[in-house]
Amino acid sequence: MRKQLVMIGNGMAGVRCIEEILKRDTNQFDITIVGDEPHPNYNRIMLSNVLQGKTDIDEITMNEWAWYEDKGITLYSGEKVVHIDKQEKTISTDKHRTLPYDELIMATGSSAFILPLPGSDLEGVIGFRTIEDTQKMIQIAEKKSKAVVIGGGLLGLEAARGLMDQGMEVHVVHLLPTLMEQQLDEPAAQMLKKDLEKQGMNFLMEKQTAEIYGDSCVEGVTFKDGTSLACDLVVMAVGIRPNVALAKEAGLDVNRAIVVNDDMQTSEPSIYGVGECVEHEGNTYGLVAPLYEQGIALSDYLTGNPGEGYKGSVLSTQLKVAGCDLFSAGKIHEDDTTDAIVVHDAVGNEYKKVLVSDNKIVGIVLYGDASDGTRLFSMLKKGTDISDLETATILQKPGGEDLEAFISEMPADETVCGCNGVTKGNIVQSILEQDLKTFEDVKTCTKAGASCGKCRPMVEGVLSNTLGDDYDASAQKTGMCECTELDRDEVIAQIKEKEMQTPAEVRHVLEFSNPGGCSTCRPALNYYMRMLYPETYEDDKASRFVNERMEGNIQNDGTFSVIPRMYGGTTTADELIRMGEVAKKYDVPLVKVTGASRIGLYGVKKEDLPHVWEELGMRSGYAYSKSLRNVKSCVGERFCRFGTKDSLGLGMLIEKETEMVDTPHKMKMGVTGCPRNCSEVLTKDYGVVCVENGYHIYVGGNGGTEVREGDFLTTVTTEEDVINLAKSYMQYYRETGIYGERTASWIERLGVDNVKEVLFDEQQNEALVARFQQSRQTHEEAWGMMIQDDEKKKLFEVARK
């Protein structure tokens, strides 16, 4: 009979422990997870990338909802455990649910520490720990302009960079004279500060905040020296506090955090702990690598294969801020027991320092080029005797045979990917057992390199060392998902050749390892089938993501946003009245003009969604979908003295002609009335610049921290040419793009010259437009939104007037 294993917390450390348990034994436990956030397990360390605009929230999910179902795990999300009964061995939740357990894992994590200052309870004072925190900062940045980040440590600088990327003016307030004082010495910290100042970040060093002032919302901060600074947002990044209230109430031993032994066992034999909420040998950890090490030790113990247990961790740090590459580990500052090896290249903006004691590395600080961090950190952890090495050799990055020798000598338990706690042994075992051939294979299977990606050279080195002559460094083949080794092109070719008609048939015939598919291939196959057979394939709504199924983006509290389509940001008096009436009737807490020039209703309850859409009587703006989201346009020649053409009307026409058709990822377009580019079209998937002699077309642009300016495609002379080219471009992207791939990556993968060759071929272009029109018609029919030609002409005339 299976034991009941219950885990409190659905974060990275806890779920990694569950993954490791399932690797060892899938039949020992019935597993239940209770998490107080309304999300599946997500990569918390990637929140800074979300804030910086590098990725979307839905792309940092580590285990989709379907994963829990596939693994037979019962998940209660958005639900908080309020009591543990050790005698009865049950837990109780705030939704009056009582769950029995045989073994209980505490994975309650930590919370951002909010300084107990006057005004710290004002609206606009936020920590930086959760998706909700990140979404709040992004929402405030859309309306406000000035932010203060209190804390110049790792998290504070990542938050500050992200808020800058959201368009805010940011001041970082730090109590000490140097940044990241726990990870960097003074020279490296000054280099970091200088680089961040060049990016536009402002610093107030050796400042202590006395008060946050404002009526109901933040208006500014006052410092103990009597000065003040106006702001609209205050982000606290001064540390974390382990969540231990539940453990204390249950009578478990708690110091700073929940006390555990080497087997991660608490003072109660059937209760265990992992993650930021636990204290081991007097130490708590906030970085992911040691938390994963704890999860592995606990999974060994719970499945009856106890090893040495958890023995503590040596920490290393990297910063995820654009243009700043740093690594540190161990001791940072010299003392009487250490000697320093230092290389400071001011011209090349690189700094390397290694601290040595008794012929062993005890500390590392790297800035400007941190690629050698893994090698030096390995020597630190192993206590390598460096007495036979020359000073230059220690700081010289190995290459060629030296790098191969280094990787070959790495022990199996050496961590290669610090972000996800993946060791060399994990990678080697997966390569041999799963027949992995490429970096992408390893990343998908083990998560090595799936976060910051800085470990890629090491992962590829392990691949080369393991496969020997069978390793092809140029191979880029990537299986569609963990269910198959076939990549996207191979799967589609097989679908066409064998005329398969359903995703279930595809998985069966192509021998996917999981007959039911996974959270990666289910939506992908649904998209590919719909793209290949637009007239006959019936869309499988169950395979779509929850946002698409509900026709609204899920919010941090489990409610949804409803964003109707408003072509070119225009609407009518009747539509405005209806939106207002619906918002009042359903107690919608926020009605907001969005960045895409539409009106959004935020906070709609799930059960109200069908009624809200029905009563609005407006078609969806698809703000949640993998399709065209919007076409941003300026007012053009209608009002602007610089406008050369009617960019507003053209933008509305493009949107009406290309909406509703599924694409591999979301698409955004833009039309600007002149080269001044008020609509920011050069960072759109498809951008149009109106000029005197026609229209310049740009493709493959992308915003965010890693901005990609669109490639110039061509100049056309008529609006019809612009629209037809948009259709053929979208269809070519639909037919050759990998599901989940933005056009920026797609353009770089195919090459803009290849795209031009296809689109400029008259026969191929006409065929692409025809197939697009066929798909568009079936999409319109499927959603019950078919517009007749005469009605469409009337709409276009209204748009023109």
Listing DSSP states for 382-408 in one string gives HT-B-TTS-HHHHHSPP-THHHHHHHH
Token representation of residue 614: 């029905």
φ/ψ of 708, rounded to 5, equals: -120, 115
Cα gap 35→107, rounded to integer Å: 9
**17 labelled as ligand-binding?**
no
Q: Annotate 469-504 with b (16+ C-beta within 10 A) or e (fewer).
A: eebeeeeeebbbbbbbbbbbeebbeebeeeebeebe
Among residues 452, 462, 105, 497, the alpha carbon closest in space to that of 294 is found at: 105
Token representation of residue 435: 């027949």
Strands (E), 36-97: 74-77, 81-85, 90-93
Cβ pair 616, 582 in contact under 8 A: yes
Q: Which residue has the tokens 């008609």?
A: 501
* Whole-Å CA distances, 76 to 250, 533, 549: 21, 37, 20
DSSP state, 324?
B
Q: Mention every residue, 6+ apart, whose C-beta is less than 8 A from residue 598.
A: 563, 564, 565, 566, 569, 621, 623, 630
Q: Mention every residue, 6+ apart, whose C-beta is less than 8 A from residue 512.
A: 483, 484, 506, 521
Give the 3-state DSSP-derived string for 231-271, with helices as H, strands as E and coil as C: CCEEEECCCEEECCHHHHHCCCCECCCEEECCCCECCCCCE
User: Other CB atoms closer than 10 Å to residue 70's CB: what's the count?
Assistant: 15
Cβ burial, residue 215 (10 Å; 0-12/13-18/19+): exposed
Cβ pair 599, 571 in contact under 8 A: yes
**634 labelled as ligand-binding?**
yes
Among residues 200, 269, 188, 222, the alpha carbon closest in space to that of 120 is found at: 222
* Whole-Å CA distances, 302 to 12, 85, 305: 18, 21, 7
φ/ψ of 210, rounded to 5, equals: -105, -35
Q: Mention every residue, 6+ apart, whose C-beta is less than 8 A from residue 762.
A: none
**674 labelled as ligand-binding?**
yes
Per DSSP, the three-state class of 634 is coil
Q: Mention every residue, 6+ apart, whose C-beta is less than 8 A from residue 175.
A: 206, 207, 208
Per DSSP, the three-state class of 676 is coil
**419 labelled as ligand-binding?**
no
Cα gap 16→31, rounded to integer Å: 13
Cβ pair 636, 603 in contact under 8 A: no
* Whole-Å CA distances, 503 to 207, 496, 774: 60, 13, 21
Cβ pair 153, 235 in contact under 8 A: no
* Whole-Å CA distances, 145 to 156, 170, 219, 584, 673: 18, 9, 11, 29, 27
Phi-psi region of 583 (alpha: psi -120 to 50; beta: other; left: phi over 0): alpha
Listing DSSP states for 594-622 in one string gives -TTS-EEEEEE-GGGHHHHHHHHT--B--
Token representation of residue 223: 């410092």
Cα gap 550→511, rounded to integer Å: 32
Cα gap 7→32, rounded to integer Å: 6
Q: Where is the binding site for siroheme, in residues?
A: 678
Residues annotated in a binding site: 634, 640, 674, 678
Per the annotation, binding residues for [4Fe-4S] cluster are: 634, 640, 674, 678
